[in-house]
Amino acid sequence: MKGHKLQPLRKSEKIYAEENHNLVYGFLHRYGYSIEEYYNVVIFGYLKAVQVYHRREDLQEKCDFAFISWQYMRAEIGNHFRMENSKKRKPEEKVSSLNYSDMENMTCSVNGKSPEADVIENLLLETVLDNLKGIQREIVRLKISGYSNKEIYMLLGIPSSTYYKELQRIRIAVEELLIG
């Protein structure tokens, strides 16, 4: 069940989905979710359940469709809330100290770093990003923003295997920049 990607429905699946569509409303009502707000979230779980149920005969023998569909809709709601929460997470930069024994030597540090260290760090980051492909740049930007590995590959809509291959390529590119 986990990780199923939605594909175009077959004719028999479309008919079955239409016949059992009331399960979507039953799910939303049972858990107190607004139809206007969450219908578009859970419907994908419902359609995935239709596909899985029709394409895996072993499930038809073991489980009731209503049970399967509610599990998929619950998973979609959970994914939705995880994604919503992760989008709100941003690293906070605060001025942590302002040192001025005399006005000529005044320094300001952000998160314990001097402005010079920030400039060097930003230049290094720009150099690294300039040497990466599009997806790799996105991975680095999301990592910097505090997203977890799983959140990143889910946000980008790529398989975890592709994500980890791209991470390895990023490491190699960074090593080449630092060494060569």
Instruction: State the Cα–Cα distance between residues 12 and 61, nearest whole angstrom.
Output: 18
> Residue type for 139, please?
I
Q: What is the pLDDT of residues 120-164, one digit of tens each?
A: 777 777 777 777 888 888 888 888 777 888 888 888 888 989 998
Quick check: pTM over 0.85? Answer: no
In order of their start, the domains of the chain are 11-88 (no CATH), 95-179 (1.10.10.10)
Instruction: State the Cα–Cα distance between residues 156 and 145, nearest whole angstrom.
Output: 14
Cβ distance 36 to 81 under 8 Å?
no
Instruction: State the Cα–Cα distance between residues 49 and 60, nearest whole angstrom.
Output: 11
| Two tokens, residue 111 | 């998160």
Which pLDDT band holds residue 99 (cuts at 50, 70, 90)?
very low
DSSP codes, 39-73: HHHHHHHHHHHHHHHHH-HHHHHHS-HHHHHHHHH
